Amino acid sequence: MSENVNEINTKPKRKNLEERFENWLNRWPKIHALYVKYEEIITYLVVGGMTTVVAWTCKFLANLILYKGAATHTSVETGILTFIDWTAGVIFSFFTNRAYVFKSDAPMLPEAGKFVASRISTLFLEYLCMLVLDTLLGINFYIATFITAVLVVIANYLFSKLIVFRKKDSVGENSSDE
């Protein structure tokens, strides 16, 4: 029994995903330098893409289940689908943005409150865009969703960067690496 414990303790520690990515990226110094320079934007886009997959999967499944995959909707149906999309996206994106994009170590509860408040404002933006594109103009639901997503992603990044995960220096003012 003690031999098994010693074997476990002597095994080399596995690198986490970030360390493995960093080692892989070091093979290309110029690309690595660009990544370091634009890391926050690149990781935001990757996390945003993953958030979009999560949110849209929930939205499209709800559309299939509730409305038999309809391509256009009433304003109430649009509201329900938008809220489902938004809720899934907010839950997923808060934790991934906090950990991987903005690498925040600030108290979670105040950040969560600011994050949800900022996302409520973009929920209204999303609903308004979907209402105009899908319901009023009759643009295909999936095309309207894509167009709306571009606007919402830009607004969400600005809110997260400038309000929610804002880094402070020792004096209490905004610090900037740019």
Q: Which residues pair with 174 in a beta bridge?
A: 168
Please tell me the distance from the alpha carbon of residue 3 to that of residue 53, in angstroms, as a whole number: 46
pTM for the full predicted model? 0.70
Which residue shows structure tokens 């690595």? Answer: 32
The two three-digit tokens of residue 68, written as one number: 């038999």
pLDDT tier at 170 (50, 70, 90 boundaries)?
A: very low
Model confidence pLDDT, tens digit, residues 63-101: 999 999 998 888 899 889 989 998 999 999 999 999 999
CB-based burial, 115-154: b 16+ in 10 Å, e otherwise: beebbeebbeebbebbbebbbeeebebeebbeebbeebbe
